[in-house]
Amino acid sequence: MTEHPDFKAKLRDRGFRLTPQRELILRAVEELGHATPDEVLAAVHRESAAVNISTVYRTLEVLEELGLVRHAHLSDRAPTYHSTTDHEHFHLVCRSCHKVTSVDPDEAQDLLARLRADHGFVADVGHLTVFGTCVECPEEEN
């Protein structure tokens, strides 16, 4: 069973059926933490081969529409999904070693306040990804 407390209610309220595939996909996202659709499919296949990549993409879209998962772009490839039961966060991605660090939105408050004051812009921190080089990796020369 999925850990998301309002999973079934949100599906029913929006006219969606609770299917084993939807439950497997949400559980995979929750267990993996941050996962691409291909990684979700691989995790789901450990329990059921009756799910294909199209089902994964459609289900992730529905789950995001319901506010049960979010996505971020942590690479130039497929989006990465994570459960909304986790704390709100943004991501730091090292271009060298590809390490992903989840960061509390409070650490970006100065930037967010400045964007709002100077531009009248309210940023969606959950989709924010900052690329750079982590302290463990030597900076590449340009």
79 and 12 share one domain: yes
CATH, residue 25: 1.10.10.10
* 39 shares its domain with 96: no
What is the per-residue pLDDT for 111? 92
Residues 79 and 94 in one domain: no
- Domain with 112 in it: 90-132
**Looking at the 3D structure of the chain, how many domains does it have?**
2
Q: Mean pLDDT score of the chain, rounded to an integer?
A: 86
Is there a single domain that holds both residue 78 and residue 96?
A: no
**Helix and strand counts by DSSP (H, E) for the chain:** 5, 5
Q: Per the domain annotation, does 20 fall within a domain? A: yes
Looking up residue 97, the CATH number of its domain turns out to be 3.30.1490.190
Task: Give residue 2's pLDDT.
Answer: 44
Question: What integer pLDDT is reported at residue 1 of this predicted model?
Answer: 40
118 and 53 together in one domain: no
Average pLDDT over residues 26-49: 91
Q: Is the pLDDT of residue 19 over 60?
A: yes
Q: Which of 4-8, 14-18, 48-52, 124-128 has the lowest mean pLDDT?
A: 4-8
pLDDT, position 116:
94
Give, in order, the Cα–Cα distances in Å from 61 to each of 37, 64, 108, 135. 11, 5, 27, 35
Tokens representing 84? 């909304």
Q: How far apart are CA 70 and CA 36, in angstroms?
A: 11
* Same domain, yes or no: 74 and 107: no
Q: Are residues 25 and 43 in the same domain?
A: yes
The string of pLDDT tens digits covering residues 71-125 is 888 877 788 898 887 778 888 999 899 888 989 989 999 999 999 999 999 988 8
Cα radius of gyration rounded to whole Å, the chain: 17
Mean predicted confidence (pLDDT) in 49-56: 91
